[in-house]
Amino acid sequence: MNKEIYVRKIFSSIAKRYDFLNSLLSLRRDRAWRKFTVRMSDVAHGSRVLDVCTGTGELALAYANKTGDTAVIGTDFVYDMLAVGKDKVEKQGRTNAFIPIEADTLELPFSDNTFDIVSVGFGIRNVTDLRLGIREMCRVAVASGRIAILEFTQPTTPLFRHLYYFYFKSLLPCVGNLISRNRDDAYGYLPDSVMQFPDCEQLKRIMEECGLTDVRFYRKTLGIVAIHIGRKK
Ligand SMILES: C[S@@+](CC[C@H](N)C(=O)[O-])C[C@H]1O[C@@H](n2cnc3c(N)ncnc32)[C@H](O)[C@@H]1O
């Protein structure tokens, strides 16, 4: 099965349990990582923010806490993930905060130079063409706009890396697949895709090649995740 079809299939099947599992498997660190990403993005009241691969809208909603009356647009190509996000904001009475739109990150339905911030949380790793995805995010950002990428990475401390890999490669797939009742090994795909993803320095270089400047990154939680922020030239 090709990657795009597989990605669509697994996220469609785990959509309803996605938020719960994120929180459980990250021991609730996922919220802090998203908050930090928002804090590093220089977001202000009225900033126009696009969150691609938004899934259930968690990162978009973290930005919406800072943009005031300006709704954050979240795009994703899996309808079921967006539907969970839509239900969630309805229940929370926050329908004005989040506009979900079904769209492929490789072909965003927006004009050039539209958004002050374009973000992606745990999504760009799943996009079939990483460079094309980053270029498309840049295209829709205004000049000097920020691109923020929150993504899993590989811890650098040897001892911790061993312990973490045991959890990440053995325990997490069992628990994740069991609770999500997924038969396509969605939570086995997670560590595999992280192992194949560029490390922090490589991702920084790729972002620069894609037209970004002032790219910096921050490792969090002993290097399990990293937040890269760059500015469009
Ligand atoms: C791990 S989830 C991340 C969801 C959310 N951003 C978060 O922080 O929890 C990855 C999401 O990326 C979406 N995705 C992957 N490739 C995509 C693409 N090419 N275009 C749009 N969405 C994509 C999937 O459908 C899925 O909802």
Please report, for the domain that includes residue 27, its CATH number: 3.40.50.150
* Residue whose structure tokens are 């994703």: 76
Is the CB of 80 within 6 Å of ligand 1? no
Q: Whose CA is nearest to atom 23 of ligand 1?
A: 53
- Scanning 58-216, the segments in alpha helix (DSSP H) are 58-67, 79-92, 130-140, 158-166, 172-180, 186-196, 200-209
Q: Whose CA is nearest to atom 27 of ligand 1?
A: 55
Q: Which residues contact 220 (CB under 8 A, 6 or more apart)?
A: 29, 32, 33, 36, 226, 227
Question: pLDDT 10s digit of each residue in the chain, 233 long?
Answer: 799 999 999 999 999 999 998 888 888 899 999 999 999 999 999 999 999 999 999 999 999 999 999 999 999 999 999 999 999 999 999 999 999 999 999 999 999 999 999 999 999 999 999 999 999 999 999 999 999 999 999 999 988 999 989 888 988 888 888 888 877 787 888 888 999 999 999 999 999 999 999 999 999 999 999 999 999 99
Is the CB of 55 within 6 Å of ligand 1? yes
pTM of the shown model: 0.95
Q: How far, in Å, from the CA of 55 to the mean position of ligand 1?
A: 5
Is the CB of 77 within 6 Å of ligand 1? yes
In a domain, 75, yes or no: yes
In a domain, 190, yes or no: no
Is the CB of 11 within 6 Å of ligand 1? yes
Choose which residue among 9, 10, 11 to substitute to test ligand 1 binding: the one with the highest number of ligand atoms within 8 A of its C-beta.
11
Give the SS3 label for residue 118. Answer: strand
Q: Residue 64 in contact with residue 31, Cβ under 8 Å?
A: no
If one counts the domains in the chain, the total is 1
Q: Residue 219 in contact with residue 200, Cβ under 8 Å?
A: yes
Domain span holding position 219: 3-154+197-232
Choose which residue among 37, 52, 77 to substitute to test ligand 1 binding: the one with the highest number of ligand atoms within 8 A of its C-beta.
77
- Residues found in the chain: 233
Q: How far, in Å, from the CA of 137 to the mean position of ligand 1?
A: 14
In a domain, 100, yes or no: yes
Long-range CB pairs of 108-112 (<8 Å, 24+ gap) are 108/50, 108/52, 108/75, 108/136, 108/137, 108/139, 108/140, 109/75, 110/50, 110/140, 111/140, 112/139, 112/140
